[in-house]
């Protein structure tokens, strides 16, 4: 009697294909890992040092006061006054987080979820309508990189953001960011922005005002209330709506803030104030302290704060 003989080769064939498939997938994973590692190594070689963040001293304005304590002029490269996070209104911090980076306290420097959402939004509209940069990425770009839109700069931005998150706490990053960013019309940081637009200390701002200021960093010139009041109002509404979405404020608070009238400061250039007197002071300070102390401010004190001085006598 003849018995059928099993074909061992046919029985092993599916397992061979599975084996080759797994090996191919493993090879692709390893190639991708080495490629990513190589890219990170290549762009990490010339990254700027972040050591200065441990003793952050931003360029600040040197303010000149008269005998009756009236501000008569300022010297600066970037007009800025450092204020700690604890002096900023809670609503201001919430507004910035809502419109710029709502997952700031959850991600590690760059946000995968936000990147995917931005990609889908831009793909749907067939143009760039939404960015994916976190607050940390924006800060690294402001402090260390150029604004050019290239893949190389974006990769460096992500790498620096990750390093920054490992060096500093979230509150420290947010404090530096709010003192560093540009709000338009020569105003750097929230304190100078509050003075420039509303003539107030940052701690005195109301919800309607902080919503306006928080909308400026995206495009300060486009949302200037002096140049484009309608667009500025629309942007304020966007910020307030985002605050509602994030449950920072209620619909009633949104309505009241949006309907509140805003009263902006009249723009008066520093050069219109006591020109001869200010030039005398400027030369005196440069001779005594040097250019950096006069135009960057912070080096004249042991902690970031605006430098002030008493006027020397004019003449012999």
pLDDT digits (tens, 9 = 90+) for 116-163: 776 676 566 665 555 678 999 999 998 887 777 677 778 888 888 999
Q: Is the separation of the CB atoms in 242 and 98 below 8 Å?
A: yes
21, pLDDT greater than 90: no
What is the structure's pLDDT at 302? 31
Please give the structure tokens belonging to residue 198.
């509303």
Span 221-235, average pLDDT: 95
312, pLDDT greater than 50: no
Query: Which has the closest alpha carbon to 105: 51, 155, 165, 149?
Result: 165
What is the structure's pLDDT at 181? 93
Structural domains in the chain plus CATH codes: 88-273 (1.10.3810.10)
pLDDT tens track for 58-73 = 666 566 666 666 665 5
Phi and psi torsions of 80, nearest 5°: -150, 145
Evaluated on CA atoms 282, 285, 289, 295, the torsion sign reads negative
- Window from 93-102, 156-165, 264-273 with minimum mean pLDDT: 264-273
pLDDT band at 110 (very low <50, low <70, confident <90, very high): confident
Q: Is the separation of the CB atoms in 210 and 129 below 8 Å?
A: no
What is the structure's pLDDT at 151? 74
């Amino acid at each position: 009697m003849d018995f059928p003989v099993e074909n061992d080769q046919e029985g092993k064939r599916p397992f061979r294909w599975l084996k080759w498939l797994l090996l191919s997938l493993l090879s692709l994973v390893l190639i991708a890992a080495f490629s990513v590692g190589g890219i990170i190594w290549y762009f990490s070689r010339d990254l700027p040092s972040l050591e200065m963040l441990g003793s952050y001293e931003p360029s600040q304005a040197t303010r000149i006061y008269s005998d009756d304590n009236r501000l008569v002029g300022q010297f600066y490269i970037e007009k800025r006054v450092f204020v700690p996070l604890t002096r900023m209104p809670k609503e201001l911090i919430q507004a910035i987080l809502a419109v710029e980076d709502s997952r700031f306290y959850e991600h590690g420097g760059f946000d995968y979820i936000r990147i995917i959402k931005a990609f889908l939004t831009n793909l749907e509209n067939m143009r760039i309508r939404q960015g994916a940069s976190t607050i940390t990425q924006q800060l690294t770009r402001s402090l260390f990189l150029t604004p050019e839109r290239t893949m190389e700069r974006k990769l460096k931005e992500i790498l620096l953001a990750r390093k920054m998150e490992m060096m500093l706490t979230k509150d420290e990053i947010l404090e530096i960011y709010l003192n560093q960013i540009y709000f338009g019309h020569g105003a750097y940081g929230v304190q100078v922005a509050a003075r420039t637009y509303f003539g107030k200390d940052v701690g005195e701002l109301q919800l309607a005002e902080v919503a306006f200021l928080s909308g400026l960093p995206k495009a300060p010139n486009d949302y200037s209330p002096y140049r484009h009041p309608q667009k500025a109002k629309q942007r304020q509404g966007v910020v307030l709506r985002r605050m509602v979405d994030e449950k920072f404020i209620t619909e009633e608070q949104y309505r009241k803030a949006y309907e509140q009238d805003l009263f902006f400061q009249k723009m008066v250039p520093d050069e219109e104030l006591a020109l001869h007197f200010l030039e005398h002071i400027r030369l005196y300070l440069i001779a005594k302290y040097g250019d950096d102390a006069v135009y960057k401010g912070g080096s004249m004190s042991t902690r970031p704060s605006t430098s002030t001085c008493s006027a020397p006598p004019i003449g012999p």
